[in-house]
Chains A and B, each alone.
Chain A
Amino acid sequence: MIGVERDETKLIARPVSMRLGGGMLAFLRKVWAVCAKDLRAELRGREVFSTMTSFSVLAVLTFGLAFDLRVPRSEMIAPGVLWVVILFGGVLGLNRSFGAEVDRGTLPALLLAPVDRSAIYFGKLLANLAFTLATTLVILGVMFFIFDVNMFHPVNVLGVALGILGYVGVGTIFAALTASSRARETMLPILLLPVMVPVFVAGVGLTAGVVDGKTFDDLRQWLGILAAFDLIFVIVAYLLFDLIWEDA
């Protein structure tokens, strides 16, 4: 078939030009490519966001029911409930970020890319960040109605964002560690949640402070802990991430 012959010649005769070497820009481009791929795949399949949101909304409702008869003012428990739901619901998305790659067998495709593997870490971190932030917006909205507490205060939103950044920073690398194990779904929360305690305590402290109307000066320490957590863990995770894949 002549048409096909012509295309084959095109295949061989015109060499592919690739930008060689690396540099920060190429690295960032690939980080974005990985993130965009995860986001696009989610838009098609809609597994992650819907499961995270359903679970989180259910959890909020359950907590609301549990405390309704015994707690005089819902502001007392709202901060705790918020962070518990964020941490437990987020596991669902984290599990899938590497779990799907392992189950569908696409992980080697990413590992074969000519880029430092931390690009995969950052790309998936960004995608997980997007999913978890989106879910949290839903949680805040539901809690606004069910608990009658407005937690959309800018300082709280900042704190939540910082907390979630640290959460997905650690969660992404732990998800990579547990992705190939049989008990992946149970192992990830067991590994992740104890390490997240500083974020949980600081987050609850911050949200409670906001709900109680504390000044920014009082709240600064909590933000400091969250920021320190983010910085330390994202850097260390970045350094260690490549070591995971020595025997894929």
Chain B
Amino acid sequence: MSTATIKSKEAGWRGLDILQLVLSLLAVGAMGAVMWASLFYARDATNLAGDEQLAQRIFYIHMGCNIGALAGFLVSMVGSIAYLITRNLSWDRLSQAAIEVGVVCGLGTIITGMFWAKPTWNTYWTWDPRLTTSTITVLVYLAFLLFRNGIDNRQTRARFGSIYAILAFLSVPLTFYSARLFRSIHPVVYGNENPDAQGGFSVGASMTQTLMISIIGFCILFSALVILRWRQLGTEDALAELREDLE
């Protein structure tokens, strides 16, 4: 007995299609604005010089990716709880889409962080609490995706994934807090800078504005990607169900 009905698609745009298109175009525009702002609009950090000064601009992308990763977590947490309450697979798909995009943003955070760290502190890695948390977060996300991949039953996959996501999400604030505490007790000074002070560049007005542009831009990008992926997963599930019905 089929629980999926084949919705015949009339030619033309429906609400979600329009939203997706608008968001995608906005995202393109927003990322363009982010690039322009970080590379040109933002003024050079006055207390830095040379490579370090140039590398400082990576910071805007770095923070943007960070926001994306954080958003991924939050949305997947909401999606997981909502799935467990409503048992509507749409929420589970949202959770998965958010985490997938969150992983990409998280990887972006780590990579940009490394490129920023090398000229600034002459090392690729610092145990900066934010960086540490981002990395552990990415590992948690990847584990989530791996875990789900190994479960065949759709409902079980959603249920187990949600349970794991909720527990994993709860560990993140504690990870951040403990890493920060650890750092404050074991401060490591590289060269003249204290890593905790965000690379120690003095912040001017254009920089703050660039940061805002970056954050907003990445939020839009995140939303566009998540909606796209979410609908993709919906189609995947519908296809799987139809295939089962035909057997």
Contacts and interface: CB of A to CB of B under 8 A. Distances in A.
Contact of A198 (B160, B166, B175): B175
A197 B143 CA distance: 14
Contact of B151 (A173, A181, A236, A246): A181
Interface stretch (A38-46, A100-108, A227-235): A227-235
Interface string A157-177: 000000000000010011001
B167 A198 contact: no
Contacts of B159: 243-244, 246
Interface string A192-208: 00111110011011000
Question: Interface size bucket, B side?
Answer: 20 to 34
Interface in B16-73: none
A221 to B, nearest CB: 6
Interface residues of A, number: 34
A177 B143 contact: no
Given A191-B143, A194-B168, A243 B163 contact: yes
B136 interface: yes
B2 interface: no
Nearest to A189: B143
Interface in A47-62: none
B160 A201 contact: no
Contacts of A11: none
A244 B167 contact: no
A197 B167 contact: no
B143 A243 contact: no
Contacts, number: 88
Most buried by A among B143, B151, B171: B171
Question: Is chain A's interface secondary structure helix, strand, loop, or mixed overall?
Answer: helix
A167 to B, nearest CB: 12
Contact of A197 (B136, B146, B151): B136
A8 interface: no
B203 interface: no
Nearest to B140: A194
A178 B163 CA distance: 12
Given A177-B163, A240-B167, A247-B156, A201 B178 contact: yes
A240 B150 contact: no
Interface of B: 84, 136, 139-140, 143, 146-147, 150-151, 153, 155-156, 159-160, 163-164, 166-168, 170-171, 174-175, 177-179, 181-182, 185
Given A205-B185, A233-B171, 14 more contacts: A173-B167, A174-B167, A177-B147, A187-B146, A191-B147, A194-B140, A221-B181, A225-B177, A225-B178, A237-B167, A243-B159, A244-B160, A247-B155, A247-B156
Interface of A: 170, 173-174, 177-178, 181-183, 187, 190-191, 194-198, 201-202, 204-205, 221-222, 225, 228-229, 232-233, 236-237, 240, 243-244, 246-247
